[in-house]
Chain A
Amino acid sequence: MHPLAQANTQPLPVPQVDWRAIAPELALLVAGVVLLLVVAFRPGAGRSLLAGLTLAGLAVAAALTAWNWGLERVAFEGAVSLDGITRYATAVLLASGVLATLMIAQGDGPEGEPDDSPPEVYPLLVFALLGMVLLAAASDLLVVFIALEILSLSLYVLAGETRRTAAQEAAMKYFLLGAFSSAFLLYGIALCYGATGTTNLLGIARASADPTSDGTLLLAGVGLLAVGFFFKVSAVPFHMWTPDVYQGTPTPVTAFMAAATKVAAFSVFLRVFSGALGGLVVSWRPVIAAVAAVTMLVGAALAVVQTDLKRMLAYSSISHAGYLLIGVAAAATVPAGVSASLFYLLVYAFMVMGAFMVVQYVSRLGPPDDDAVRERSSLDDYRGLARRHPWAAGLLAVFMLSLTGIPPLSGFWAKYYVFLSGVQAGLTWLVVVAVISSVISAFFYLRVLVVAYLQEPAGEQGETAPGRTPALGLALGLAGLLTVAIGLAPEALISAARSAERILG
């Protein structure tokens, strides 16, 4: 009998449904659908109602995550796994979702200008989060792909949510390059399936340990998977889209992208490479380490010459992706690599979102201008910020110093932990490269402080008051407080990351 026909005689396995395992995802799904219905049937619904509903949905999802906290199991025949990475990443993702909601609720226009972001941003944000949370839990390559598409499609639309030319351009670029990277990923999945006969990560782990399997085909698949992930985390040389997209996208969305996309993408990166492909570590570690080194250096070096804060933060995020890749490279043999990466993601999410919140605050100071191609985020807009808006400048200083890695702020511990895992994995050379990159990065983080603190305000024409910013103020306060508090007392969150080291499936 033909082998294909033979295969057909076997009954199709129907996965057992495990509702509890995907409860947070379901909550987000319901929240997204409700929001969509509200937007569709109540077009006049106020910003605060939508934001409130979004926050309520996130709260329910967070409660369900807490309910699932102790679960350690694989559900849906290995398609979804509940382990430390899942719960840690979900918590961080939901927290950054809350901050992003607050930022969006504030709107990004100066006072008096009608808010031009459509009400659909709220459901889109929730759907993007759904994709991210699912991605963090995915332990089957097909689920990985589906989750990635859910989050990407939502983000493409979010990137173009305003009518500014730059935002439209950013959305288009993001879409084209994102589609390109999805193709790579899909091709990689196909090759892995061809080599191992399964898309399940546990199955791939077993097959890759089997010496009789087709090593070359699998390695080709792994390479393409890596390319797909490198795109998503914007590692060099697949980083080209990042600066343009970050700069053009409305600031609240940029903040969300910078923090949450990284969390989700690195969670799956860790799970696939350190978990399923851990047996092939000898083959992929040199590649990841090399990409990490180049990413850190190129990101930092290009950030130095930027004159726009959003663009600079984009390059800085590239450089931070490099630090995170140290954790990924280390994670296959050193468990601390997993917890270091998770802790880094947590810390990074708060400090980078905080930095973008200050950007949003400053862009509100600009003159109302309908033709503005992009937001006010040039470094010149920050001149003398400390004299005019001491609180905003103080928070900016906290975030910049934390991103530089100055103790005792949170960014320092994150960097330290990643460096430690690198040294433990025998990647000391990579850590030295990271140190050099940190020093380069100090130049541009300091430059922001030089402009904000050490330069006199340029005669401000037509600067408007920022107006009342309760939502943004709350978000800024939270991000600043967390950055300082985690810096002073990191123990609890590090222990939580430690307990998340074991990768299931």
Chain B
Amino acid sequence: MLLTATLFVPLVGALVVAFVPEANHRLARLVALAASLAALALAVVLAARFRTGEAGFQLGQTAQWVPAFGVSYRVGVDGVSLPLVLLTTVLTTLAITGSWRMADRPRTYLALLLVLETAMLGVFVSLDLFLFYVFWEAVLVPAYFLIGSFGGQRRVYAAVKFFVYTLLGGLLMLVGIIALFWLHQKATGTATFDYEALVDFDKAPTTQRWLFAAFFAAFAIKTPLWPFHTWLPDAYTEAPTTTTVLLAGVMSKLGVYGFLRMALPLVPDGARWAQPLLLTLAVVGILYCALVATMQRDFKTLIAYSSVSHLGFIVLGIFAFNIQGLQGGVFYMVAHGLVIGGLFFVTGMLEERRGTRRIEEFGGLQQAVPRMAGVMLVLTLGSVALPGLVGFVGEFLTLLGAFLENRAYAVLATLGVILGAVYLLWAYQRMWHGPLEREENRALPDLTGREWAILAPLVAAIIVLGLFPRPVLERVEPSAQRVVEQTQASSP
């Protein structure tokens, strides 16, 4: 019940927000914030009740939905999904706070953010493949309207590209899910989409390759892996700031989570067969997107590319198929969500103040807005993976995992770490250091109280989890270990 409540509180909040009188912006904001805070509080209770050290799913709920199809409503969390549930609720609350001063149809915008939260949480907690697919596609609709209705100039193009691209992947995954369901029904006689039942039955290695291809289509596009990433810079750049925070902070995790939760345990032979391809794409993506990021003039696009580059590390860790890599991958998901969310928030605050995102328009901001510069420094260093900050733990573990599996990939990926430092620090230097040349930058106001309220929790989490990663890691470990076993132990 607790998990179901966490899942649907935002949706109920969205419905309430949708029926608030149109002119009463303040009430809409308060209701939306209350709903997101309620979800966050429930997620915290969930985390408190979570039994550390258990690998299986906990705190779940099962109910019939469409028995004619073998579809049930089954949810639960394990060490892999719990951190992501917390991340989602935290970032949505902050995103709603960040949208506080939005003047354009705030009621619709906030309702859509809350619907998006429910859909994304649903993907993380579904233990029925069909339910997973339903939430997976349901993410598209609010995201489409958020980008298309509230974004920048090329928003319609970006929204349609995002929608169609993701829908293609999702439908191919649906074919894979149907095939899996049908194989299971033929083998055992029971019609079910239950995750554990579908994990446990034997699948022929050749079939697994096809099935993996179907899952790959969905997850590679959603992650996105190079070369399926072309929708992302458009979508991230055109979306309004707080939407981008959720897209980059949470939605990008759906793809890697899918690999980890679905592709590896369900079709281990297929995953092992595709391992070289995945590792190659991950490394190429890390390096290519790092190079492209170096050349960007718009810092929102720069961060968008840096996000793709960093997601490559997560894929690298997951497809190392060992405990270090998987554990690191999950930790990196959380780290990436915190850091990239913060970076996009600061981006939005700057854009709000100056009306531009071009790097050359700035310079020497440290003198004008020293507090903002300090926060930005922590975020940048977190992204560069400075030891002591949250990014380091994830990056170190994933690289370690990759190194144990195959040294060449790890060595190449390490080049990406260096490139990451190059473009992020260079951008920081151009924007925040140096002389304060432009007159219009001189009078910029520093962080307001509301902005502190958004950034302070993120900065605190980045530092605390960087120094004490253990609370997260020890919860992730048993579940990650189970995935490792599922991946290794499969039909000969």
Contacts and interface: CB of A to CB of B under 8 A. Distances in A.
A432 B69 CA distance: 20
A56 B134 CA distance: 40
Contacts of A438: 167, 171
A420 interface: yes
Given A401-B141, A406-B138, A406-B141, A450 B148 contact: yes
A450 B160 contact: yes
B175 A423 contact: yes
A420 B175 CA distance: 8
Contact of B182 (A401, A416, A424): A424
Contact of B164 (A423, A439, A494): A439
B8 to A, nearest CB: 13
Interface in A477-505: 490-491, 494-495, 498
B155 interface: yes
A296 interface: no
Interface string B136-158: 01101100110011000001100
A175 interface: no
A408 B119 CA distance: 11
A85 B243 CA distance: 48
B164 A446 contact: yes
B421 interface: no
Interface string A450-461: 100110000000
6 contacts: A439-B171, A446-B160, A446-B163, A450-B159, A454-B156, A494-B69
Contacts of B160: 443, 446-447, 450
B156 A428 contact: no
Interface residues of B, number: 31
A495 B68 contact: yes
A498 B70 CA distance: 14
The dominant DSSP class at the A interface is helix
Contacts of B181: 420
Interface of A: 401, 404, 406-408, 412-413, 416-417, 419-420, 423-424, 428, 431-432, 435-436, 438-439, 442-443, 446-447, 450, 453-454, 490-491, 494-495, 498
A406 B266 CA distance: 24
Contacts of A424: 182
Contacts of A401: 141
Interface string B51-80: 000000000000001111100000000000
Nearest to B136: A407
B148 to A, nearest CB: 5
B178 interface: yes
A230 B107 CA distance: 48
Contact of A407 (B133, B145, B156, B159): B133
- 3 cross-chain pairs, A with B, having the tightest CB-CB distances, nearest first: A407-B134, A435-B171, A494-B68
B172 interface: yes
B418 interface: no
A405 to B, nearest CB: 8
Contacts of B148: 450, 453-454
Nearest to A401: B141
Contacts of A454: 148-149, 155-156, 159
B68 A423 contact: no
Nearest to A339: B68
B67 A443 contact: no
B146 to A, nearest CB: 11
B66 A442 contact: no
B369 interface: no
Nearest to B147: A454
Given A401-B141, A408-B138, 18 more contacts: A406-B138, A406-B140, A419-B175, A420-B181, A420-B182, A423-B175, A423-B179, A428-B179, A431-B178, A435-B168, A435-B172, A438-B167, A439-B164, A446-B163, A453-B145, A454-B149, A494-B66, A495-B68
Contacts of B69: 416-417, 420, 494
Nearest to A451: B156
B367 to A, nearest CB: 41
A401 B142 CA distance: 12
Interface in B73-100: none
Contacts of A419: 174-175, 178
B231 to A, nearest CB: 13
Contacts of B68: 490-491, 494-495, 498
B138 A407 contact: yes
Given A435-B172, A446-B163, A498-B68, A420 B138 contact: no
A438 B178 CA distance: 16
A390 to B, nearest CB: 9
B358 to A, nearest CB: 26
Contact of A423 (B66, B137, B149, B182): B182
Contacts of B65: 491
Nearest to B144: A446
Interface in B161-217: 163-164, 167-168, 171-172, 174-175, 178-179, 181-182
A498 B69 CA distance: 11
A401 B138 CA distance: 11
Given A406-B140, A442-B164, A490 B175 contact: no
A241 B66 CA distance: 39
A439 B175 contact: no
Interface string B365-401: 0000000000000000000000000000000000000
Contacts of A408: 134, 138
